[in-house]
A and B are shown apart, each in its own frame.
Chain A
Amino acid sequence: MKSILTIFILLLLFANYSYAQEVNVKGILLDSITKQKLDKGVIYLLRASDSIILKYTRIKSDGSFEFKDIAPNNFILIASLSNYIEYEDRFDIRKDTTIDLGYIRMVSKVQLLSEVIVKGGIRAIIRNGDTTEYRADSFYVAPNATVEDLLKKLPGVRVNKKGEITAQGEKVKLILVDGEEFFSDDPTLVTRNLTANMVSKVQVYDKKTEQSKALGIDDGKNIKVINLKLKEDKKSGYFGRALGSVGTNQFYDNLITLNHFRGKRKLGVYSIISNTGKLGLNSTETETFISNDQNNIGRLDTWDGQFSGRGLPILQTVGAHYSNKWNDAKESLILNYKFRNLRIRGIDSSFTEFILPDTSYFTKENKSFSNKILSNKISGAYEKQIDSTSSIKITFNGEMAEKESDYDFRELTMSSKKEKLNFGSRTISTLGKLNNLNSSFSWIKILSKRRRKILFDINEGYTSDISKANLYSENSFYKIGSNLPFQVQITDQLKTNKHSTLLLGSKLTYVEPVSKNAFILFNFSITSINSSSTINSFNKNTTGEYLQFDSIFSSNFKFSNNLPKYGIGYSVTKNRYYLISGIDIGKANLTQKDFLFNSQVKKSYINWFPQIRFSYKIAARKRVTFRYDGNSINPTIDQIQSGRLNNEPLNVFLGNAKLVPSFSNSIKIVYSDSKSKNERDLVIRIIYDFIKNDFSYNTTLDSFGRTEYKYENVNGVRGFSQNIEYRYLIPKTNIYIDFNVTSKQKRNVNIINNKTNNIVLNSQDFTLSLSKSIDKKCDFGLEFHFDNITTAGITSISRSRIRNSIYSFSPVVDFFLPRKLQLHSDCDFTFRSTNIGFAKSNNIVLWNIWFEKSIFKNSELKFRLGVNDLLNNNNGFNLNANKNSFTQNEYNVIRRYGNISVIWNFTKNK
């Protein structure tokens, strides 16, 4: 009897235990309008990972449903009732609970057709984990509007005039089409090329890097991407756009794009000829010709080959894209080609105030430039899923370019009382040939034990730059009060430069699972960088030819850096949190050989790279993340050993062999909280950085305005910044508010005339934008921006302070008038406060306006009449705060012109 009782109790306990593992889900279905209970239909419970139907049930006669005793999982619940829009909900349940969904309001298809309910009923935006999905049809855009017009309508997404996209406060770096890259280096080629009616859904999410995708961890290097899901019937066929525009002052824009999609195969070509800077110049290419290797100082030409908004550009470009997937999508290939001929002419003048412990001085520089580049670029990627456990990926990109640039400088240095100290002029013209080729190979293998993985990467990077330059400079030095120079320096040289760098790296990573949720990671990598740099300078000989070798300003260096690195990491992922921690230790072996003077410098440094990342999920869409990163940074050879350069005769840089590596620490705390209701998003970021042994200069200034910079390690460099982002849709008004406040404090340290100088930079930045659109009538946007920077130089002796504030106010309005007419106006009012150093204030009102008429049924053809910078008020202006200086730049930009354009969109779907 007793034993039976024991068994009975045990059974009870056991039953209780097993019951505690189970989940119950229930709810009641209502018609969203009549509020009647709905009793005919099926509720599905799917497993989110693979859509397997775990359970289903018919709705009971009282409109309710219930699922009992389901094992915890990540679920999708679907309510399917004939004549009602399908309802879908997702929830991730990890413990025993009863989920009561309460009343589920179903939207009738009949009501949907009458459009009234669209706003109230359908969820135009679905958030699932880190992905936000917008149903394109829920946002009204004019017929034949581009994807860019659609993106502008999406809450949380912003597109600026250049076509740059920001989503959820972060810059979007990549636009995908059906998950595949399409003209990946220029997002505007996609957003202004595809029409909005091709898109069924827009998804915004963080794309993981290859490494983190393979390892299943977040390495913090994710980028924001937008994926455009095409409608089924638009996936095959061709489409394109042709644009022709002529304007006053000989401005023109011409563009033609042609695309052909068939299943997974995408083909596209485009051609642009333009001189307005509005087309084809939004490249997000990261590889520019100025890389950060050790070999850059000494280049006379510092242009990176891109248009930065300064000067007047003329662009001719042709590009092509091909991508395909085959063999059950196990193999894929992407190829891109781009030809580019870009010329930029411009004038750039700057005014700089240098803050010194006891005084300050000014420089004024006028630069006129003419830059040209002619380049051919090809890039591609091939991926293959060899079997279910291994895959390979090969990428490459290569570019061949010819670059020509001419600069003409005039430079004046003045004392704090604006007395002339020296005056210099110099012209530099270079002609160069550039080649680069980068490639990588990676292989991932999953071993027999679950989640045990091996990753192997090899990468190669080669760049070569051969150029010829003429340098002519004249510098006159003055004594205060005197108008006659007491010394004049003339340099007239021909320089031939040869730079080449070859990087070879490989990395092996091994991942060992230690438990269900945790794994340990080991990696070993070796990187070798070999570069050579030859600069030969020739003076004019008696016959006027540049044949006389100048050994002082010539150099021939070979540089190598071998960096073996060992790393270990540990990662654990639980339902509510994840933790990643690890440390890499490496040894950098730097060697520089000077062939001209037969000397050699060898240095080796131990480098540490610790990192910790911890993230905790407070609620479904509420999360706090903590990050710490430590990085060793080695001094460059130029910082150790003096180079001999005469590019800038007024600035002399001296190396310091006693430099030790600096170590930077960065702590970042991010809190994010999103609510589907009213599209509310809140993000708070707090970042604290401090650097030990940072590289700075000891600046010595002689009385003629010549500056000598000697590299030194300094302590006390730190920065602190806070940022709050808040977005909100005001209920019922359909007004969307986006609010962003950033405050930064940064402390830099340098040494001026052997005295430590602390420079404290304070900046506050505030942006508020409002937008509202009334479908088929008007779109309205308003942005208010305030930026305030204060720089203070503090030493034991003195204190100086510069303050600069910018206010801007930008209304944008689009009216959709009857008869397919559209009127657009955008305006930027920018007000800058005057301050001590810069007497002139720079208030600009930039107003652009255009008027468009569409014809044909689907508005395939459009005529546009517009004026750019109606008030002829545009002005290139920029303000920069550096370690101990403040620079104001002014440069020429495109001003008023009127133009007339014809835009034709064509499409044919099969």
Chain B
Amino acid sequence: MRYLFFTTLILFLISTPPLKAQNVKPLQMGSIEFVRKINLYKLYQDNSQSLELVKKNNQQFKTSFFNLIFDSTKTLYKPGKENSENYKFNAIVAEENIVYSELETGICFTQKKILENIFLIQDTIRNIQWKLTGEKRQIAGYDCKRANAIIMDSLYVVAYFTEEILPEGGPESFAGLPGMILGVAMPHEHVTWFATTVSILEKSPVFLIPMKGKKISVSYLKEILKKDLVGYSNWYFKFSSL
């Protein structure tokens, strides 16, 4: 009888393949590596002279890495490992952005380097009206749903988020979906962020709150940008004020 019991138990254990995420606890703490890609050729497609120059000196995609660490109440987005292949192309912004968000209070601090100046902006987490599309895909092993939105009046954003990671954050200041955003695309701006790896952390990580820079408000930032970025493209302006 006992023999039978154990055999059954063993058989049962062997024969039940652990169905992924069936009993997986939704993730509370962890770290995500994002790869951001900017399609330079597309970006300069309307300007044939610059395009030639860009093509000569660059690969099609400008790739940068960012890390997002999170626990159940906080997220921190900061530059990740260096990409040695990158030619330091002046016109790329938001390369050194650090975004710290407190999910419960809705406060977020953003440290930006624009041209030579470093700014520190305190704001509330961006309120985005997301549209659920019904489309699904997997990113870094997680089932994601697609949502679309228009932010800052005219920027079209596509986000893929997973319900299996509880904190409601994402790269840069993208948030406001029931779960973690693992992919963002701004098709008209030719920029994408996609998670490559999601690591589970046992202990809450240390959040280094950005402190550097000149403290300014959002509206003042726009003024500064208007002043400082005269002659830069509209794309550059939009991207700096993200």
Q: Is the CB of A44 within 8 A of B21?
A: no
A798 at the interface (CB under 8 A from B): no
Surface stretch bound by B, among A51-59, A577-585, A698-706: A51-59
User: Of A78-86, A148-156, A428-436, which stretch is located at the interface?
Assistant: A78-86
Residues of A21-61 at the interface with B, using a CB-CB cut-off of 8 Å, are: 40-42, 44, 46, 50-53, 56-58
Asked whether A42 lies within 8 Å of B163 as measured between CB atoms, the reply is yes
Known: A82-B21, A82-B143, A110-B19. A42 touches B133 (CB 8 A): no
Q: Mark B16-39, 1 if CB is under 8 A from A, else 0.
A: 000101100010000000000000
Nearest Cβ distance between residue B198 and chain A, in whole angstroms?
15
Q: Are B21 and A83 in contact (CB under 8 A)?
A: yes
Interchain CB contact under 8 A, B132 and A46 = yes
Q: Is B103 interfacial (CB-CB < 8 Å)?
A: no
Interchain CB contact under 8 A, A83 and B22 = yes
Residue from the list A44, A50, A52 in contact with B178, Cβ < 8 A? A44
B238 within 8 A of A: no
> Does B214 sit at the interface, judged by CB under 8 A?
no
| 8 A Cβ contacts from A89-113 to B | 110
CA distance A134 to B21 in the complex (A): 30
Which residues on A sit within 8 Å (CB–CB) of B178? Answer: 42, 44, 56-58
Q: Which residues of the partner chain A approach B237 to less than 8 Å between Cβ atoms? A: none
Asked if A80 contacts B130 (CB within 8 A), the reply is: no
Interfacial residues of chain A within 110-137, with CB under 8 A of chain B in the complex: 110
Residues in B neighbouring A56, C-beta threshold 8 A: 177-178
Q: Which residue of A lies closest to B135 (CB)?
A: A232
Query: Does B145 lie at the interface of the complex (its beta carbon under 8 Å from any beta carbon of A)?
Result: yes
Q: Is B171 an interface residue (CB 8 A)?
A: no
User: Hey, what's the 0/1 contact readout for B152-172 against A, CB within 8 Å counting as 1?
Assistant: 000000000001101000000
Q: A51 to B131, Cβ gap below 8 A? A: yes
Give the residues from 76 to 117 in chain B that come closer than 8 angstroms, CB to CB, to chain A: none
A53 to B143, CA, bound (A): 19
Residues B22 and A53 in contact, CB atoms below 8 Å apart:
no
Contact of B164 among A53, A57, A82 (CB under 8 A): A82
Q: How many residues of B contact A (CB 8 A)?
A: 19
Say which residue of B21, B22, B129, B179 sits within 8 Å of A42 (CB atoms).
B179
Closest to A58 in B: B178
Least Cβ–Cβ distance between A699 and chain B, in angstroms: 66
Question: Which residues of B are at the interface with A, using a C-beta cutoff of 8 A?
Answer: 19, 21-22, 26, 129-134, 143, 145, 147, 163-164, 166, 177-179
Q: When each residue 707-747 of chain A gets 1 if its CB lies under 8 Å from chain B and 0 otherwise, what string results?
A: 00000000000000000000000000000000000000000
Chain B residues in 8 Å Cβ range of A53:
129-132, 147, 177
Query: Is the CB–CB distance between B131 and A80 below 8 Å?
Result: no
User: Given A53-B129, A80-B145, 5 other A-B contacts at CB below 8 A?
Assistant: A42-B178, A50-B131, A51-B132, A51-B133, A83-B21
Q: Which residue of A lies closest to B176 (CB)?
A: A53
A70: shortest Cβ distance to chain B, in Å? 15
CA separation between A246 and B178, bound complex, in Å? 63
For the complex, what is the distance from the CA of A509 to the CA of B104, rounded to whole Å?
55
- A56-82 vs B, CB cutoff 8 Å, 1 = contact: the mask equals 111000000000000000000010101
Give 9 nearest A-B pairs by CB, closest first. Answer: A42-B178, A56-B178, A53-B130, A42-B163, A51-B131, A82-B21, A51-B132, A52-B131, A52-B129
A51 contact set on B, CB distance < 8 A: 131-134
Please tell me if the beta carbons of B19 and A83 are within 8 angstroms of each other in the complex. Answer: yes
Write out the residue numbers on chain A whose beta carbons fall within 8 Å of the beta carbon of B131: 50-53
Residues of A participating in the B interface, judged by any CB pair closer than 8 Å? 40-42, 44, 46, 50-53, 56-58, 78, 80, 82-83, 110
Q: What's the nearest-Cβ distance from chain B to residue A89, in Å?
A: 14
Q: Is the interface of A mostly helix, strand, loop or mixed?
A: strand
Instruction: Provide the residues of chain A in CB contact with B147, threshold 8 Å.
Output: 53
Is A52 in contact with B130, judged by CB distance below 8 angstroms?
A: yes
- In the bound assembly, the distance between CA atoms of A41 and B145 in angstroms comes to 13
Can you name 11 A-B residue pairings with CB atoms under 8 Å? Answer: A44-B178, A46-B132, A53-B129, A53-B131, A56-B177, A57-B178, A80-B145, A82-B22, A83-B19, A83-B21, A83-B22
A46, A57, A83 — most chain B CB neighbours (10 Å): A83
Per the bound structure, the CA–CA distance linking A53 and B26 in Å amounts to 22
* CB of B31, distance to nearest CB on chain A (Å): 22
Q: Within the complex, what minimum Cβ distance (angstroms) separates B163 from chain A?
A: 5
Question: Chain B contacts of A83 at CB under 8 A?
Answer: 19, 21-22
User: Which of B19, B129, B177, B178 lies at the interface centre, i.e. has the most chain A CB atoms within 10 A of its CB?
Assistant: B178
Residues of B within 8 A of A57 (CB): 178
In the complex, what residue of chain A is closest to B162 when comparing beta carbons? A82
User: What residues of A have a CB within 8 angstroms of the CB of B179 in the complex?
Assistant: 42
* Contact call A40/B19, Cβ cutoff below 8 A: no
In the bound complex, do residue B132 and residue A44 qualify as a contact, i.e. CB atoms below 8 Å apart?
Answer: yes
Quick check: A82 and B163 within 8 Å, CB to CB?
yes
Please judge, given known A-B contacts A44-B178, A52-B131, whether A80 and B163 are in contact too, CB under 8 Å: yes
CA–CA, A80 and B132, complex, Å: 12
Bound: A199/B45 CA distance, A:
38
Tell me how far the C-beta of B228 lies from the nearest C-beta in chain A, rounded to whole angstroms.
Answer: 35
By a CB distance below 8 angstroms, the chain B residues around A82 are 21-22, 143, 163-164
Question: CA separation between A46 and B19, bound complex, in Å?
Answer: 30
Contact B26 A40 (CB under 8 A): yes
Residue of B nearest to A88 (CB): B134
The docked-state distance in angstroms from the alpha carbon of A52 to that of B133 is 9
The verdict on A41 contacting B19 (CB below 8 Å), with A50-B131, A53-B132 known, is no
Cα distance A50–B129 when bound, in Å? 11
Q: Which residue of A lies closest to B148 (CB)?
A: A51
Min CB gap B109→A, angstroms: 26
Select from chain B the residue with minimum beta-carbon distance to A82: B21
Contacts of A41 in B (CB 8 A): 163
- Bound form: Cα–Cα A233–B33 in Å: 32
Q: How far is the CB of B130 from chain A (nearest CB, A)?
A: 5
Check B132 against A78 for contact (C-beta < 8 Å): yes
Question: Nearest chain A CB to B157's CB is how many angstroms away?
Answer: 14
B112 to chain A minimum Cβ distance, whole angstroms, is 28
Query: Cβ of B145: which chain A residues have Cβ within 8 Å of it?
Result: 80
- Chain B residues with CB under 8 Å of A78's CB are 132
Distance A110 CA – B19 CA, assembled complex (angstroms): 10
Residues in B neighbouring A40, C-beta threshold 8 A: 26
A545–B232 CA distance with the chains assembled, in angstroms: 91
Chain A residues whose C-beta falls within 8 Å of the C-beta of B21 in the assembled complex: 82-83
Q: What's the Cα separation between A80 and B129 when bound, in Å?
A: 19
Q: Cβ of A42: which chain B residues have Cβ within 8 Å of it?
A: 163, 178-179
Give chain B nearest CB distance to A111 CB in angstroms: 12
Q: Which of A46, A78, A80 has the most CB of B within 10 A?
A: A80
B57 to chain A, nearest CB (A): 34
Min C-beta distance of B162 to chain A, whole Å: 9
Closest residue of chain B to A109, judged by CB? Answer: B19
Task: Give the interface centre of A41, A42, A46, A57 by most chain B CB atoms within 10 Å.
Answer: A42
- A46 and chain B: residue at smallest CB distance: B132
Residue on B nearest A57 in the bound complex, by CB: B178
Chain B residue at minimal CB-CB distance from A80: B163
Query: Chain A residues with Cβ under 8 A from B133's Cβ?
Result: 51
Alpha-carbon distance A52/B19, docked complex (angstroms): 32
Shortest CB-to-CB span from B159 to chain A, Å, is 11
A82–B145 Cα distance when bound, in Å, is 12
In the complex, A42→B145 CA distance in Å?
12
Cβ distance A708 to chain B, nearest Cβ, rounded Å:
70
Closest to A232 in B: B135
**A44 to B179 CA separation, bound complex (whole angstroms):** 12
Interface centre among A40, A42, A53, A80 (most CB of B within 10 A): A53
- Report Cα–Cα, A53/B21, bound state, in Å: 25
